[in-house]
Structure 1
């Protein structure tokens, strides 16, 4: 199989989810600059049916409380749901649908997911670790309200962003993950 000599293909092939990120994060300005990488996402009728919400600091506590409320969990005084605190920066990915006769909601959701993945690749290429997380309560009423979602919006999850431990980077450098075997994923239309 051909090696990925192109730097863009190499970046795509080397991307990994980083489940444990460090405390350093890109600034809001850096995230905004990296959004330029999202521009080429497939977007029928150029609706830009997505938006991002940056969660830092106290925003993560609001999310923790909303997740607990959605799950019906009551914690002891001072105890907090730890999930939103796995990273200092969470980027909520929102499919922000617009009614359009030629672009169904599922297609707009796919565009939003594509934009999130391109941002994930851009963050990775810029040296940041990213993990896309969701869960059973992602679109529960309490969580939706905490994010200020509109009726036609869908929360696709959160990108947990932070620096990458040098030991993890070294492990990746020595790893030889085989390229994807395309055979199970490619086929032809059946002929009758």
Structure 2
């Protein structure tokens, strides 16, 4: 296949950047399902599909925020600040590792699949015109936050994609010096 067939993917990857400020618009549930279906095509050894996405909108974001504040042990203004983090976007997509029993595929490889889904989903959301930021933190592995997300035993929250309408222009991304990261044997 020629260069032209691959350019849109490369352009999407080069264009992608974290959008720390988004507005109150968000993709609909049906739009999200289409993007998740595409993101689920990542390489997945044995086809285990060891991941799921939790769609968090409205008051559910407040419940997640309260759980983060409790997990952070914050009080007063600091607790309010932590609790407000999930309110920075109208849609949060919690990326969950749901490991499957496998003799061939270790959990670290399954976590890589879930991370790959999250990254591809962020590219697809960006391509569809949405602002996206991947957020993590020490709270992702806390019992309080796991409970707020309804995680099953063995599941792990990897982080959230904060999604909303694009708010203003972001600075252009600095080009990557690929030669620093590629070596030969």
How far, CA to CA, are the matches of 1:92 and 1:164 in structure 2?
20
Kept in 1, the 8 Å contact 2:62–2:84? The answer is: no
Match for residue 154 of structure 2 among 152, 155, 172: 152
Alignment partner, residue 27 of structure 2: 26
Alignment partner, residue 73 of structure 1: 74
Paired residues for 1:33-72 under 5 Å: 33-72=34-73
Question: Which structure 1 segments of 5+ residues have no match?
Answer: none
Alignment partner, residue 182 of structure 1: 178
Alignment partner, residue 139 of structure 1: 141
Match for residue 98 of structure 1 among 97, 100, 106: 100
Q: Does 1:162 align with 2:151?
A: no
3-state secondary structure, aligned to 1:68:
helix
Name the count of aligned residue pairs: 180
Structure with the higher helix share, 1 or 2: 2
Tell me the CA shift for residue 5 of structure 1: 7.3
Deviations 1:102-138 (A, max 9, x none): 0000000000000011110000000000000011111
Deviations 1:26-83 (A, max 9, x none): 011110011132133010000011000011111011111111111122337xx57210
Q: Which runs of 4+ in 1 moved over 6 A?
A: none
Q: TM-score, normalised by structure 2?
A: 0.90
How far, CA to CA, are the matches of 2:160 and 2:111 in structure 1?
15
How far, CA to CA, are the matches of 1:10 and 1:38 in structure 2?
17
**Aligned-residue CA RMSD (Å):** 2.1
Q: TM-score, normalised by structure 1?
A: 0.87
Tell me the CA shift for residue 178 of structure 1: 4.9
Tell me the CA shift for residue 155 of structure 1: 0.5
Q: Does 1:114 align with 2:116?
A: yes
Evaluate the alpha carbon distance shift between residue 68 and residue 103 of structure 1 in structure 2; reply closer, same or farther with a 3 A threshold: same
Kept in 2, the 8 Å contact 1:98–1:152? The answer is: no
Q: Could you say which structure has the larger radius of gyration?
A: 1
How far, CA to CA, are the matches of 1:61 and 1:180 in structure 2?
37
